[in-house]
Structure 1
């Protein structure tokens, strides 16, 4: 899986777990909502580290968590 897709998938999961929307994350981090949307949709070609830091601080996770693949739905490993 490409890192961009891994990050976008993980970010969508983290937002869903917190019942947050892209605009909520944008408001908390000061990152443009369009940037958050590009990241969560997998359309972002390059994500700056300071952007990752702001997102992780807001979601209370370590940056390495964004690079960890999501478990398959249903919790079954393949």
Structure 2
């Protein structure tokens, strides 16, 4: 999985877990909503580290968590 897709997928999951929308994150971080939308949709190729820091601070996660693949829905399968 490409890292930008991993980040966008993980960010969507984190936002859903917190019942937040892109605009909520934009308001909390000061990052343009269009930038947040491009990240969550996987349409951006480069994400500035300061943007990652602001997002992580707002969501109370470490930056490394954005680079961790999401677990499949429905739990683990095939004994993995």
TM-score range, shorter chain: over 0.9
Structure with greater helix percent:
1
Which aligned segments of 4 or more residues in structure 1 are displaced greater than 4 angstroms? none
Whether the 8 Å contact between 1:71 and 1:77 is mirrored in structure 2 is no
> Max radius of gyration: which structure?
2
Which 5+ residue runs of structure 2 have no aligned equivalent? none
Gaps (5+ residues) in structure 1?
Answer: none
Aligned residues: 78
CA distance in 2 between partners of 1:30 and 1:44 (Å) = 18
Is the 8 Å Cα contact of residues 11 and 66 (structure 1) preserved in structure 2?
yes
| TM-score for the superposition, normalised by structure 1 | 0.96
RMSD: 1.2
Q: TM-score, normalised by structure 2?
A: 0.94
